[in-house]
Amino acid sequence: MKYRKTGPWMIPTALSLMVCSVFAQVSTNPSVIPTQSKDLVRNAPAPVAFQVQTLVKGLSHPWSLAWLPGGDMLVTEREGRLRRISPDFQLDPRPIEGLPADIVVDGQGGLFDVAVHPDHARNGWVYLAYAQASKDGPRGASATALVRARLQGHRLVDLQNLFAMRPASRGGRHFGGRIAFDRQGHVF
């Protein structure tokens, strides 16, 4: 009897072998858990001791923080506020002014990430990602947006819109909004 070496039967067979391999690994080592990526989650070999210590009180849904060159922290609150915390963990009671007026707080939407440009000491740029109210989409729609501005005292100035996702969507889903810089200072 002749059989073909390749064909549509190979894909299900290969997938079955991969699944069996993962289950065999998990069943022989219960501390290894497969993930959707190629990474494996492993339990710690011994209990890990840690202590939780509250450093700042008075924040509402803090989402992100960035360190300023002088040691202060900028912290975003989902509700659309940017707060400043001193190096000795004192929360300034006054939120930073001058944020975009079109921040939408809906479900998981709001003010997301804050990042300080790698050359902040020279250029003063602070970047913010947030859920932006749609100007041209369906009623109640919003989209992830990225802006930058300079911080002067308690106010953002020179606000520049850099990106806004299109089309906008409705429903307050998680938008994503992480900000990163490469070695040349380009923002992503």
Sole residue written with tokens 């064909």: 7
**Residues near 102 by beta carbon (within 8 Å), at least 6 away in sequence:** 132, 133, 135, 145
- What DSSP string runs through 6-56? SSTTHHHHHHHHHHHHHHHHHHH-TTEEE-SSS-EEE--SSPPP-------
How do residues 69-120 score in pLDDT, each as one tens digit?
999 999 999 999 999 999 999 999 999 999 999 999 888 889 999 999 999 9
**Of 53-67, 77-91, 104-118, 166-180, which gets the smallest average pLDDT?**
166-180
Q: pTM score, two decimals?
A: 0.73
Q: Which residue ranges make up each domain of the chain? A: 62-164
